[in-house]
Chains A and B, each alone.
Chain A
């Protein structure tokens, strides 16, 4: 145990003058904003989960019969199934900390000696961590891995997390930015009895060798056109700050041609770009090939191993960092295509190639998405303290949230990836 640093312990200045203390102020040097959730809430995607074994979302996937006819002819009239439903499950999140009330209540007692309410500091951190996990999970998937009973094509198990965009905006053939191929979502088999109706075909901006490429004006107009083809009016785009930079750079470079379509500024307080009415926002927690360099704890090669819990992780322990992966070997009419050949789906992914996902852009109509927090207050950011029976002063503090974020109309959104600023 260390000896006193000085003898006498306090000098004249310290006895007579205390430090200038800024009470109740603490600088946030870790967490970042979570605009995805804010934007989605503002677009009205929140619908309370009132209970039930799951959340069923019905959809129409087929047509009935019709044709030009000859008056008087007879027709064999049949009926085929046209509707089915997806089913999503409520997911459970918890953030937690152990507290010790001698420290919190006796030492950190409210009054002149308290600089910051330590209990409030802990509770605020729990809320921030909860929001961070939800934000990061919102982009990814909520399925078990193939090894754990999930569908083939899913390599990482995220079954406890929200279902998210990666699995929602997929066509069951092309990979998501994490390299998974989602042949199922909400229990719906893509390209099966439902056909292609529950698909969303992504677009890859990269090259045939898998390296990233630029996001161009024609790419943007074409993906908007792709959505328009499926009756989707994209209103929102979410990308990483570097994806946002890529968009700004591209639009600025051609501004002399079509300046009126450019609007940089803030909508809802977040940096955004307006592209023909599609407002594209920057989210620091959006999956990215670059932001990990700057998010705390992300760049361990340069800055060393992060101390415990000084990095960003989602509900399944993943970061925002996107890594290279190998694209599937595509088939055309059942025959495998050559490596490097563009996907027959129109996604521009090269077949059987190492893909650099780089930056991602999620374009969608918010009406295709639901955020389903429980209406039960005990699982809605409520703090619960569980005493440790044989401990004189320690207790476990839990904050819990039941929710899910899922896509229930996949064709009303898509993922653009493989571009850099």
Chain B
């Protein structure tokens, strides 16, 4: 899908949609395949635009409309957790299903390959029924530190942030080293004592077309 702005955002960037266009025929339950969102459509937003379309909780960056993998673990899909592009992270070369199916971090895939940041929680029922959401793949993202807070006792802005089990993130050291699962650098200091959202500038995330 080319870089473009979606022509119509039925609700906002945090909404969990039940159709790949965001529009449902209330009679048949089928998706309207027109006029709405397009799976794989991605676009860059300024800080003001992201705030406006993201309930004042999103920041400047690139956002992509994707489908949640029907086998994903819903409990690991929450605001700020990390997901993976299934087709790439599984090592497939045929891009089975395309790059725009995102699964949860716990599926034993290569966690170093093509992470994205979830913007909202989905329920198990939503995953089963089919869920389409926006994820963030570049820019200033809010990520969620691991249970109990990050390892680093003195976390600071600029620390290297890595993804860890279940799709949460950790700050190992100040400033830390870039490793394959590095997702970026901290823009706000993470908490050492509790799992909490903090802002992270996504780096080392390659662009992928599809």
A and B together in one complex: yes
Q: Which residues of A contact B (CB under 8 A)?
A: 1-5, 9-10, 98-100, 102-103, 107, 305, 307-309, 317, 388, 390-391, 394
Q: How far is the CA of A307 from the CA of B26 in the complex (A)?
A: 22
Top 9 A-B pairs, shortest CB-CB distance: A103-B35, A98-B7, A2-B29, A308-B53, A394-B7, A100-B7, A305-B55, A102-B34, A4-B29
Closest to A10 in B: B27
B28 adjacent to A4 (CB under 8 Å)? yes
Most chain B CB within 10 A, of A103, A305, A307, A308, is at: A308
A98 adjacent to B6 (CB under 8 Å)? yes
Q: Given contacts A99-B7, A308-B52, A391-B4, are A4 and B34 in contact (CB under 8 A)?
A: no
Is B130 among interface residues, defined by CB-CB distance under 8 A? yes
Is B92 among interface residues, defined by CB-CB distance under 8 A? no
Most chain B CB within 10 A, of A2, A98, A309, A390, is at: A2
How near does chain A come to B50, taking the closest CB pair, in angstroms? 11
How near does chain B come to A79, taking the closest CB pair, in angstroms? 52
Q: Given contacts A305-B55, A308-B9, are A9 and B2 in contact (CB under 8 A)?
A: no
B35 adjacent to A2 (CB under 8 Å)? no
Which residues of chain B are near A103, meaning CB under 8 Å? Answer: 34-35
Q: How far is the CA of A305 from the CA of B49 in the complex (A)?
A: 15
Q: How far is the CA of A308 from the CA of B5 in the complex (A)?
A: 15
Q: Which of B11-19, B78-86, B143-151 participates in binding chain A? A: B11-19
Q: Which residues of B contact A (CB under 8 A)?
A: 2, 4-9, 11-12, 18-19, 24, 26-31, 34-35, 48, 52-53, 55-56, 129-130
Closest to A6 in B: B27
How near does chain B come to A279, taking the closest CB pair, in angstroms? 37
A107 adjacent to B35 (CB under 8 Å)? yes
Closest to A99 in B: B7
Closest to B31 in A: A1
Q: Can you sample 23 A-B contacts with CB below 8 Å? A: A1-B18, A1-B31, A1-B129, A2-B24, A2-B29, A2-B129, A3-B29, A5-B27, A5-B29, A98-B5, A98-B7, A98-B8, A99-B7, A100-B8, A100-B35, A308-B9, A308-B12, A308-B53, A309-B52, A317-B48, A391-B2, A394-B4, A394-B7
Q: Given contacts A102-B34, A103-B34, A317-B48, are A1 and B8 in contact (CB under 8 A)?
A: no
Q: Given contacts A100-B8, A307-B11, A394-B7, are A1 and B30 in contact (CB under 8 A)?
A: yes
Q: How far is the CA of A79 from the CA of B71 in the complex (A)?
A: 88
Which residues of chain B are near A394, meaning CB under 8 Å? Answer: 4, 7
Which residues of chain B are near A305, meaning CB under 8 Å? Answer: 55-56
A9 adjacent to B35 (CB under 8 Å)? no
Closest to A393 in B: B34
Q: How far is the CA of A103 from the CA of B6 in the complex (A)?
A: 14
How near does chain A come to B129, taking the closest CB pair, in angstroms? 7
Which residues of chain A are near B19, meaning CB under 8 Å? Answer: 1-2
Q: How far is the CA of A2 from the CA of B19 in the complex (A)?
A: 8
How near does chain B come to A75, taking the closest CB pair, in angstroms? 63
Known A100-B35, A305-B56; 17 more pairs at CB < 8 Å: A1-B31, A1-B129, A1-B130, A2-B29, A2-B129, A98-B6, A98-B8, A99-B7, A100-B7, A307-B12, A308-B9, A308-B12, A308-B53, A309-B52, A317-B48, A390-B2, A394-B4
Which residues of chain A are near B27, meaning CB under 8 Å? Answer: 4-5, 9-10
A9 adjacent to B28 (CB under 8 Å)? yes
Q: How far is the CA of A388 from the CA of B19 in the complex (A)?
A: 24
Q: How far is the CA of A107 from the CA of B129 in the complex (A)?
A: 27
Closest to B5 in A: A98
Q: How far is the CA of A191 from the CA of B129 in the complex (A)?
A: 69
Which residues of chain B are near A99, meaning CB under 8 Å? Answer: 7
A102 adjacent to B24 (CB under 8 Å)? no
A5 adjacent to B26 (CB under 8 Å)? yes
Q: How far is the CA of A42 from the CA of B74 in the complex (A)?
A: 61
Closest to A104 in B: B35
Q: How far is the CA of A10 from the CA of B26 in the complex (A)?
A: 12
